[in-house]
Amino acid sequence: MSNLRVNSIVPSLGTNVAIGTAGGTITYNANVTGIATFSSGIVVSAGSTSAPSISPTEDSNTGIFFPSADTIAFGEGGVEAARIDSSGRLLVGTSSARSNVYYTTVSTTPSVQFETAGSSYDGLSLINYSSSGYSPVLTLGLSASNTKGINTAVSASFDLGAINFVGNDGTNFRTGAAIFAVNDQASAWASGDCPGRLVFSTTADNASSPTERMRIGNNGLVTITNGNTTFLELVNTGGYSCFHVVDGTAYTIGQNSNVRSLRIGSGLGFLTTGVSLAAGGTSWGTYSDERLKTDIVELSGCLDSIKDIRCVSYRLTDVDELDSKKRLGVIAQDLVGKYDEAVNASRRSDDDETEYLSVQYADLVPVLIKALQEATQKIETLEARLTALESA
């Protein structure tokens, strides 16, 4: 007989075997070689990892067993391989779900958990074979509804998905880094209006949860931060695509797509400040158009004022061997009180309270030009006098 349908068979008393009735207990094997339909179900013992309650005749320590109420487990070779627990969670390689593997919702236990152990790398693979080049896709998504199958727009700043990187500190798993996709607008998504951003976070030394370090906004602009202060951001201002470097004072490096020049300046209003490298240029320049200047005062007395400025060769202190070569320059202190516009004071590091002077050598060029003009004027005057004496 290839097919067998059993609705209710009650054997004679003493055999302790019942199929299709709640009154008996299976104590012997019931072998079915075809297709069987049991109207009242099959009741089996709970079984164990070494002796599953449902197993093939050729492999008695591999099969399905029921370790506790509302729990289904799968064993291979006498070892549990996976289970579906009483909360409907799928656990692979573990019999207990962890509840501390997310840093944003530490009380949440994942619905699918995969654990491995050993001395070599292990992980998950998703591979597709496609002559058309269709790659495998990992999708993380959110609908802002507590009911499965219901479409509800995600609200402002809702996370769309996250990849969380954790390690154990000897007590619990803690997050070392995370990548989030977030709704990047101040309102819920609408049909055809779904901006998002990526947020990259790392955990600092002496901390146990990550802080945002970088984000890519919905406009493609990049911001690098320590969570409180922005250090670098890619912005767009005044026709310039810019790297905006912030460290106490803001500095900007930008590329003007219209005139194809690279500019470095202070702050975002740097269109007339800072320096630029024109397309094809071989040196840095700065705007010097008279129409962009005010409070213009002609320099004077430059020839006399530069007499006491020491022009020296020197070596820097506190540098490695590669930077210890001899250099040419002036002494910044010699310019103080004379040409303060060319002198800056700054600390070399946040830990150094001493302010050191630096020189903007390019700002001395007008002084040298004026000194040369004054010297030329004196020479011309002396030549005129000499000519007059020779003619007398």
> Which tokens sit at 31?
């072998």
Instruction: Work out the average pLDDT over 177-192.
Output: 94
d(CA 255, CA 27): 83
Q: How long, in residues, is the chain?
A: 392
Q: pLDDT confidence of 177, banded at 50, 70, 90?
A: very high
Query: Coil, strand, or helix at residue 335?
Result: helix
Cα dihedral 141, 145, 151, 153 in deg (nearest 10): -70
Is-contact 28 17, C-beta < 8 A? yes
> Which tokens sit at 323?
């930077």
Angle formed at CA 365 by CA 361 and CA 367, multiple of 5 degrees: 110
d(CA 164, CA 254): 34
| 326-348 pLDDT, tens digit each | 899 999 999 999 999 999 998 87
d(CA 53, CA 64): 6
d(CA 243, CA 259): 17
Q: In what helix (H) or strand (E) does residue 82 lie, and over which residues does it extend?
A: strand 79-84
Burial class (CB in 10 A: 0-12, 13-18, 19+), 188: middle
Q: pLDDT confidence of 280, banded at 50, 70, 90?
A: confident
Q: pLDDT confidence of 72, banded at 50, 70, 90?
A: very high
Is-contact 264 240, C-beta < 8 A? no
> Which tokens sit at 103?
């840093």
DSSP H helical ranges for the chain: 302-305, 365-391
| 126-154 pLDDT, tens digit each | 999 999 999 999 999 999 999 989 999 99
> What's the pLDDT score for residue 384?
94
* Amino acid identity, position 386: L
d(CA 30, CA 36): 11
- What residues pair up with 251 in beta bridges, in sequence order? 245, 266
Q: In what helix (H) or strand (E) does residue 70 lie, and over which residues does it extend?
A: none
Q: pLDDT confidence of 119, banded at 50, 70, 90?
A: confident
DSSP for 165-181?
EEEE-SSSEEEEEEEEE
Q: In what helix (H) or strand (E) does residue 317 lie, and over which residues does it extend?
A: none
Query: Between 152 and 265, where is the model more confident?
Result: 152
Q: pLDDT confidence of 232, banded at 50, 70, 90?
A: low
d(CA 340, CA 346): 14
Count the alpha carbons within 13 Å of 7 in the hemisphere toward its beta carbon. 0
Residues 6+ apart with CB under 8 A from 196: 160, 181, 182, 183, 184, 218
| 285-301 pLDDT, tens digit each | 887 889 888 999 999 99
Angle formed at CA 193 by CA 191 and CA 197, multiple of 5 degrees: 130
Helix, strand, coil % (nearest 5) of the chain? 10, 30, 55
Query: Coil, strand, or helix at residue 127?
Result: coil
Name the residue among 34, 35, 78 with its Cα closest to residue 55. Answer: 78
Q: In what helix (H) or strand (E) does residue 370 lie, and over which residues does it extend?
A: helix 365-391
| 152-161 pLDDT, tens digit each | 999 998 999 9
Instruction: Work out the average pLDDT over 364-379.
Output: 95
> What's the pLDDT score for residue 194?
95
Mean of the per-residue pLDDT values for the chain? 81
Query: Coil, strand, or helix at residue 304?
Result: helix
d(CA 67, CA 87): 14
Distance of CA 53 to the CA centre of its chain: 49
Q: Which of 5-9, 27-31, 119-123, 208-212 has the highest mean pLDDT?
A: 208-212
Instruction: Work out the average pLDDT over 31-35.
Output: 61
d(CA 42, CA 34): 16
